[in-house]
Structure 1
Amino acid sequence: MGLKVLHLIDSGGLYGAEKMLLNLVQEQLNRGHEPMILSAGEPHIEEKPIESEAKRLGLPVMAWRMTPGLNLKEAWRIIKWAQAKNYQFLHSHGFKFNVLIGLFPRFLRKIPSITTLHGYVHARRFSKMWVYECIDRVAIYRMDGVVLVAEAMKGEIPERSRASLNIRVIPNGLNIADLKKRSTVALEDQIQQFINSHELVILGIGRLSREKGFDHLLRAFHKVKSEFPGAGLILVGEGKQRDALEGLTAELDLSEAVLMPGYCSNVPALLKQARLLVMPSLTEGLPITLLEAMAIETPVLVSAVGEMPKALGYGKGGHITQSIEPAELADAMIALLHNSCLKKKTEWAAQAVVRDYSAEAMTNNYLSLYNTVAGQKT
């Protein structure tokens, strides 16, 4: 009989965590299990990107609207609903449900609870987000299983604390066949017109937030334009830094060469037409976008953080920069754009994704964890 798993997420877009969750749910369905995505959001939000994408894919999803903040009353309603529906596991994706679920003792939850930590964002000390981070670090000790998407993330958990947590490292996985199929689909008119009007296009993809390093990328692109006047830059995503990044774009006189279209419904097709994906992140786990680029054989330039260097074979499948300072980043981008012999690296990257980062392998590892946790409860 299949497992009933309630996946809990309060999503801000359609990025790595969301794509990983959709791939996992699709594969769980394929194997006869009964997953459900519970997508939380504020009451005024009609539909979130993850909800519309889940519907497009035919995946089970429930929109659950609730007031923001430390809403323990609504979290308890969710737990009671999950109990009534006989869910066997609660699977949290993100700090919000780590906190809302983890603050309840196990004897009250009754349902085994697992969290996947997709990456840590280090907020400004004593800010509201920093307080939530601190609560999150405490709440995960009440989880029955803690998944890290990258081995490098173990450094975020104090060594003395690891023994008390049931930790596993499970890399993100892709539905590679679907990804390649989607890469052939037409792009939105605005994006396609921008690509057609530039000699080459560089991509930055991710939440528009400080840790993604897009301000560094914009400043580096300013120098790249002096070497490649016909180059364009597309920054895909939304976030709190949009106004600041738009202001920087205007300050650098790059408004005609930079497109910030918000969410893109078909990132694989965009990657297919790009000359280079640049990920100058300050912190990362294992970004799905990187794996997508590797599968599609788009050349990549990444910072040396998280699991990205390992995924790229420490340089065999892509290019890793030790510095994201604009001058050094620009030099690395220019060198890659001049290099016409990248095929060997992109082929290595595509083979690595099939071998190590498929949705099938990811799902096998999660099912093993579920069974282990269930065994501990009997």
Structure 2
Amino acid sequence: MRIATIVKDLNVYRNYPPFLEKLAERTELHLLYLYGEPFRKSDIRFHKSKVGKPSSISIGRELASLVNSVGIDVIYVLDGIFYEKVGLMASKMTDKALVVRLRTNELKVRKLSGENPLKTFLWHQIHKCVLKGSSGISVISHELQEYAQKIVRGRKPVKLIYHGVDCQQFRPMRMDKPYENAVLVVNGLRRLKGAEMLLKVAKQTPKVHYIVIGGADKVYLNSLPPNVHYHGFIERENMPTYYNMAHLTLMPTLTEGLPDVLLESLACGTPVVASKVGEIPFVLKEAFGWVVEEYSAEAYVKVLLEALNDKERLREMGMKGREYVVKNFTWDKFLNETLKLFEEVLGQH
């Protein structure tokens, strides 16, 4: 089966789970990209864009040309208005099946970000048009599945497909913790990832040290409590070290799909404390983590202090969490379900 997809910047994509690389192991995957350098060890067939001034229209035409020249069966694009418009245009120009993978509740994100309501409305009309014009939709959470089903009204297949995690890369390591009570927070200084909640909790738990990595909104960097340690952006290959240096991973996020952080932390044997959003309550079981029902600093503080008070229990929970991820979140399962969706849309197209 021949698949075509598009990625704007390969350097940015390197920090995401390798689902396209995995897909290329079982299909002939052609990837059109605008910026960055192709991966050296990959089965992906890379195609550098030749468009001087890229736009959704010009790139859509270029993707359509690639689809026709190679003989593509399915166009597979990620969510995001640029990718969606490019994919739909190429699909209409070539009469090929289009599958969209939804990873984020973009409507919720835009509203939480305080975007201009008119701009959100216009985006949503385009987004709905793309989903209705697609041949099938892959989602990573029950919330997104329900959202997409309301839009397509049973006319397209909407499949819940979890991505995998590399449990060889993300694994428990023997290492000393840097603090008596060490908690990891990934992208924790982003507003939508719960930066304000993190700072409130940190001020109420001075004996707990919060190791924060990833992106940060500048407004929070100048007012960090002494027990919040910001390490900046970390390359993906170094992430397992950070998961292993913590007793817990904290996720006070406002919105999520199926967080990579959740699966990677559990794969490393580090239990998780997280908000009740997105797919988290469906995946995070009480045997290896805590879903905080009430979004308040008091609720998070109570859970964190109780959890950190019993390190042996945390170790046992970490082992159970890893077993759960190893069994249920494999790349083979992702590939089998994704290819099944491709075959279904080809049969109906």
After TM superposition, is the score higher than 0.5? yes
Look up the SS of the partner of 2:144 in the other structure.
Answer: helix
Alpha-carbon distance change, 72 to 354 in structure 1, aligned in 2, over 3 angstroms: same
Give the 5 Å matches for 1:144-163.
Answer: 144-157=135-148, 159=150, 161-163=152-154
* 8 A contact 2:61–2:90 mirrored in 1: no
Q: How far apart, CA to CA, are the structure 2 residues paired with 1:157 and 1:368?
A: 19
Other-structure match for 2:21: 26
| Pair 1:237-2:214 in alignment | yes
Deviations 1:334-371 (A, max 9, x none): 22221221234323322221222110111000111111
| Pair 1:374-2:346 in alignment | yes
* 8 A contact 1:25–1:59 mirrored in 2: no
| Pair 1:170-2:170 in alignment | no
| Pair 1:284-2:256 in alignment | yes
Could you say what the CA RMSD is over the residues aligned between the two structures, in angstroms?
3.2
* 8 A contact 2:21–2:43 mirrored in 1: yes
Q: How far apart, CA to CA, are the structure 2 residues paired with 1:283 and 1:58?
A: 32
Alpha-carbon distance change, 73 to 26 in structure 1, aligned in 2, over 3 angstroms: closer
Other-structure match for 1:44: none
CA shift, 1:14, in A, is: 5.5
Look up the SS of the partner of 2:6 in the other structure.
Answer: strand
Alpha-carbon distance change, 258 to 83 in structure 1, aligned in 2, over 3 angstroms: same
The one-letter code matched in structure 2 to 1:350 is R
Other-structure match for 1:38: 32
* 8 A contact 1:8–1:90 mirrored in 2: no
Give the 5 Å matches for 1:22-171.
Answer: 22=18, 24-31=19-26, 33-40=27-34, 47=36, 55=39, 57-58=41-42, 60=44, 61-62=46-47, 64=49, 71-101=56-86, 103-104=88-89, 106-121=91-106, 122=108, 123=110, 124-126=115-117, 128=119, 131-157=122-148, 159=150, 161-171=152-162
Look up the SS of the partner of 2:205 in the other structure.
Answer: helix
CA shift, 1:304, in A, is: 0.9
Q: How far apart, CA to CA, are the structure 2 residues paired with 1:177 and 1:365?
A: 22
Alpha-carbon distance change, 248 to 87 in structure 1, aligned in 2, over 3 angstroms: farther
CA shift, 1:200, in A, is: 4.1
CA shift, 1:87, in A, is: 2.3
Alpha-carbon distance change, 176 to 89 in structure 1, aligned in 2, over 3 angstroms: same
Other-structure match for 1:189: none
* 8 A contact 2:184–2:212 mirrored in 1: yes
Structure-2-length-normalised TM-score: 0.84
For structure 1, which runs of at least 5 residues remain unmatched after alignment?
42-46, 187-191
CA shift, 1:268, in A, is: 1.8
Equivalent of 2:289, from 318, 322, 329?
318
Structure-1-length-normalised TM-score: 0.78
Other-structure match for 2:308: 337
CA shift, 1:65, in A, is: 8.2
Give the 5 Å matches for 1:347-366.
Answer: 347-366=319-338
* 8 A contact 1:185–1:269 mirrored in 2: no
Alpha-carbon distance change, 127 to 215 in structure 1, aligned in 2, over 3 angstroms: farther
Deviations 1:159-192 (A, max 9, x none): 3743123211111112322433xx6699xxxxx9
Alpha-carbon distance change, 294 to 87 in structure 1, aligned in 2, over 3 angstroms: same
Deviations 1:97-151 (A, max 9, x none): 4532354384423221111101213213426466434422321111111011112
Look up the SS of the partner of 1:342 in the other structure.
Answer: helix
Other-structure match for 1:201: 182
Look up the SS of the partner of 1:274 in the other structure.
Answer: coil
CA shift, 1:372, in A, is: 1.2
Number of residue-to-residue matches in the alignment: 339
Q: How far apart, CA to CA, are the structure 2 residues paired with 1:146 and 1:210?
A: 29
For structure 2, which runs of at least 5 residues remain unmatched after alignment?
none
CA shift, 1:208, in A, is: 5.8
